[in-house]
Amino acid sequence: MGEIAENYYKLVSELPAHVKLVAVTKTRTPSEIMELYNCGHRLFGESKAQEMVPKYEELPKDIQWHMVGHLQSNKVKYIAPFVKLIQSVDSFKLLKTINKEAVKNDIIIDCLLQIHIAEEESKFGFELEELREILESEEFSKLKNIRIKGLMCMATFTDDVQQIRKEFRILVSFFKTLKEKYFNEKDDFHEKSMGMTDDWQIAIGEGSTMVRVGTALFGERPK
């Protein structure tokens, strides 16, 4: 068995059954991705549209592609026809563009709202107040071709476990607030995408339903 397959089976054996694993494939080659595919894995994530499209074209069509990185509005059209879930919705403008492209393709596109919880300014995502305004707006209520399935976040890059745990708890509390107020009737709204190679155990302890892991599967990313 190759190293990627070994890493995969080890990780899967440690994940609770209700937690989905998104294998993040940025900078990985199609043949590396096929090593996981051949283990039976079908759920992959990319952080750039321009990397996702050629991989989608080259690889088997039963792969489910999640967009996990910051997405520019002008790139939505390239992934809209096939993307399974856009996890990184971080502006109202982007959400409206996704809806527009979904209308064009006559589909509904599933989305997660990315929440800014990290201390780092560089990370993307909504603040809670900003989201409230959007979710209460008439403009939002008219977006019929998107389906909000939950929230996503990236914790601060730090060794401080308490800090990371605190941030995941903020996401969970936002999730509860939004669920009660805006998505109470909607079973669709149930995902908490949190946790990566260095913090997925903490994330699962705090209630993650979906982890996004690259390095622990494929090894260190080439610089």
Would you list the DSSP string of 27-51? Answer: T--HHHHHHHHTTT--EEEES-HHH
In the complex with ligand PLP, the residue whose CB is nearer, 22 or 178, is: 22
Q: Does 69 bind ligand PLP (CB under 6 A)?
A: yes
Shortest separation between residue 125's beta carbon and ligand PLP, angstroms: 11
Q: Does 50 bind ligand PLP (CB under 6 A)?
A: no
* Alpha-carbon span 156 to 189, nearest angstrom: 25
For residue 15 the two structure tokens come to: 């994940």
Shortest separation between residue 207's beta carbon and ligand PLP, angstroms: 18
For residue 63 the two structure tokens come to: 């792969």
Query: Which position has the token pair 């080659």?
Result: 29
* 3 state SS of 191: strand
* Alpha-carbon span 197 to 89, nearest angstrom: 22
Shortest separation between residue 88's beta carbon and ligand PLP, angstroms: 7
Which residue sits closest to ligand PLP, CB atoms considered? 214
**Candidates 95-103, 124-132, 166-174, 208-216 — which segment interacts with ligand PLP by CB under 6 A?**
208-216
Q: Give the binding site for ligand PLP (CB under 6 A).
A: 24, 26, 47, 68-69, 154, 196-197, 212-216
